Structures are given as structure tokens and as C-alpha cells.
């Protein structure tokens, strides 16, 4: 059996109207520069680790332009650095102390456990596999490769489900098609008239997530908009305070 997505003319008109009214947000401009034009720095262990920590911090926490999480992520130098973490035998205590010193962060103990667990996995041989996927995405433009990379992150890093695995890859500028479907995207899709009612609980299942992601990609394709750009348009529409200075990553 196969599901066929039928995009109607009225769907395209609604998307384009929304897109035109929100496309100039600095958050959108930044996404186009990073994910479409690929003007990002070389992806190193330090950069991947920062993106991983940042994604874990945004789970179940508000991450708008004025949020505590955004301020933490934009702190220079980044508080939880890979090169510093691997110097400490008790990296969990080191990381937890850093998070505790920054008022307003939630789930500090959980996040610390996730970071340290993933750090051990990476240092025990996972780095090599991670960079195979990174190199594949850097040199290819493929929705299927993006999906495979997201599954790898989902299956191997603690604290990463279908959404955050895509958030990690997107934040590194590696993806254009697979997007993190969060509460803002589901709210927009439900209001837009998506044929399936979306819930966060259902989206935790990889197969269901892939189904919704495929539908979103088909809608974007009909509008000639890359999914990562439409994601940025939707996300930024809920926060009008994004500037070139506070955009994350």
C-alpha cells in the first residue's frame, strides 16, 4: 500500500500568503544562509558537541529569542565545551555545576545524564560513524540520506527522538528536507488543515513521524520552498523578536 499526497491549488495559495508575510524574519534569513547556501563552518567534534548539548537543552523548554535557553546557547564562549568536558574524569559533576550556575534552566540532572552518556558513546567509537553521516550530508543533497542520518542519531544518542535528531542535523546546516516537527509546526499544520490531526505523542513514533514529514515535504515541493526554510518561517512567526544578534547557532 502507498499513501499519495494530493496538494490542491488552494493549499499552495494559503502557504504562499503565509510565507510572503513572514519570509523576511532574521531567523529565516539565517536559515537560508546556513542550510541552503551552506555558508557554515567546518563541522568538528567541538561544533557537533555544542549542537548536541544545545538540542538537549531545548527539549521541553521554551527556546524563543528571549528565553533562558537561547541566552545560554549564545553565551560566548559556549559554557559546555567538548575539549573541557573530556578533561574531567567526573564530567557529569563538571557539567551539572555549569548548568546549575545558569539560572532558569530546567531538567538539569536529566540533561547532564544525557550529555555524559552520549559523550562516553562518542569517545568509545561513535565519532567515526557520526562523521560518516556528516560527510554524506555535506557532499550530497538527498532527502533519503537526511532521513537515514536522523534515524542514526535517534538510535544512538540518548535524549534524541525523531524531532531532536532532525533539530541537531538542521542546526549544523546539514539538512534541507527533514525538519524538527515541534509544537509550533504541529499547531500551524493543524490550523492549516493538514489531513491528519497531529499530536506530540504520536510523533514520538518514527514511522508516524516519517509519514507526516513526507506530507510536509510534498506541500513545500508544490510551493517551491525548501522544507527547512518553511520550518523557519513557521517557527519565527510565533516570535517577532528575532534579530541578527540573537539567532541561535
In angstroms, what CA-CA distances link 53 with 66, 80, 110, 111? 19, 8, 12, 8
| Predicted local distance difference test score (pLDDT) of residue 214 | 93
Read off the pTM: 0.90
Residue whose grid cell is 499519495? 4
Question: What does the DSSP 8-state code read for residue 150?
Answer: H
Least confident of 64-73, 141-150, 198-207: 64-73
Alpha helices in the chain (DSSP H): 9-22, 26-31, 45-58, 68-73, 82-85, 91-100, 108-121, 127-139, 143-156, 162-171, 183-192, 206-223, 227-237
| Predicted local distance difference test score (pLDDT) of residue 246 | 44
Given a cut of 80, whether residue 247 has pLDDT beyond it is no
| Predicted local distance difference test score (pLDDT) of residue 245 | 47
Q: Are 249 and 51 in contact (CB under 8 A)?
A: yes
Encode pLDDT of 138-161 as tens digits.
988 899 999 999 999 999 999 999
| Predicted local distance difference test score (pLDDT) of residue 241 | 59
pLDDT confidence of 63, banded at 50, 70, 90? Answer: low
Taking Cα atoms as reference points, which of 114, 105, 41 lies closest to residue 72? Answer: 105
Encode pLDDT of 104-123 as tens digits.
788 899 999 999 999 999 99
Q: What is the mean pLDDT of residues 171-195?
A: 91
CB contact set of 165 (below 8 Å; sequence gap of 6+): 150, 151, 152, 153, 154, 157
Give the residue with greater pLDDT, 182 vs 126.
Answer: 126
Q: Rounded to an integer, what distance in angstroms lies between the CA atom of residue 174 and that of residue 139? A: 10
Taking Cα atoms as reference points, which of 110, 106, 48 lies closest to residue 249? Answer: 48
Q: Rounded to an integer, what distance in angstroms lies between the CA atom of residue 56 and that of residue 107? A: 10
Q: Rounded to an integer, what distance in angstroms lies between the CA atom of residue 227 and that of residue 14? A: 16
Q: With pLDDT > 90 as the criterion, what percentage of the chain qualifies?
A: 62
Given a cut of 50, whether residue 15 has pLDDT beyond it is yes
Helices 162-171 & 206-223 angle (0-180, nearest 10):
50
- Phi and psi at residue 27, to the nearest 5°: -65, -40
| Predicted local distance difference test score (pLDDT) of residue 243 | 53
Domain boundaries, the chain: 45-140
Look up residue 8 and give its three cell numbers.
490542491
Amino acid at each position: 500500500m502507498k499513501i499519495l499526497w494530493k496538494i490542491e491549488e488552494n493549499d499552495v495559495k494559503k502557504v504562499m500568503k503565509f510565507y510572503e508575510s513572514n519570509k523576511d524574519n532574521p531567523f529565516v534569513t539565517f536559515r537560508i544562509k546556513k542550510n541552503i547556501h551552506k555558508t557554515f563552518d567546518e563541522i568538528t567534534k567541538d561544533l557537533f558537541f555544542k549542537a548536541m548539548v544545545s538540542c538537549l537543552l531545548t527539549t521541553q523548554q521554551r527556546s524563543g529569542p528571549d528565553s533562558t535557553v537561547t541566552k545560554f546557547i549564545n553565551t560566548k564562549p559556549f559554557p559546555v565545551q567538548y575539549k573541557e568536558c573530556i578533561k574531567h574524569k567526573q564530567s557529569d559533576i563538571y557539567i551539572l555545576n555549569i548548568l546549575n550556575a545558569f539560572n532558569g534552566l530546567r531538567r538539569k540532572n536529566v540533561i547532564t545524564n544525557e550529555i555524559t552518556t552520549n559523550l562516553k558513546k562518542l569517545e568509545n567509537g561513535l565519532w567515526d560513524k557520526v562523521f560518516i553521516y556528516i560527510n554524506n550530508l555535506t557532499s550530497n543533497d538527498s532527502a533519503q540520506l537526511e532521513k537515514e542520518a536522523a534515524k542514526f542519531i535517534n538510535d544512538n544518542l540518548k535524549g534524541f527522538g525523531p524531532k531532536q535528531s532532525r533539530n541537531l542535523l538542521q542546526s549544523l546546516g546539514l539538512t534541507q528536507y527533514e525538519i524538527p516537527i515541534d509544537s509550533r509546526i504541529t499547531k500551524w499544520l493543524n490550523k492549516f488543515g493538514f489531513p491528519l490531526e497531529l499530536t506530540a505523542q504520536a510523533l514520538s513514533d518514527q514511522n508516524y513521524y516519517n509519514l507526516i514529514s513526507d506530507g510536509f515535504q510534498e506541500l513545500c515541493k508544490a510551493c517551491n520552498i525548501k522544507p527547512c526554510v518553511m520550518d523557519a518561517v513557521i517557527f519565527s512567526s510565533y516570535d517577532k523578536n528575532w534579530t541578527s544578534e540573537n539567532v541561535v547557532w
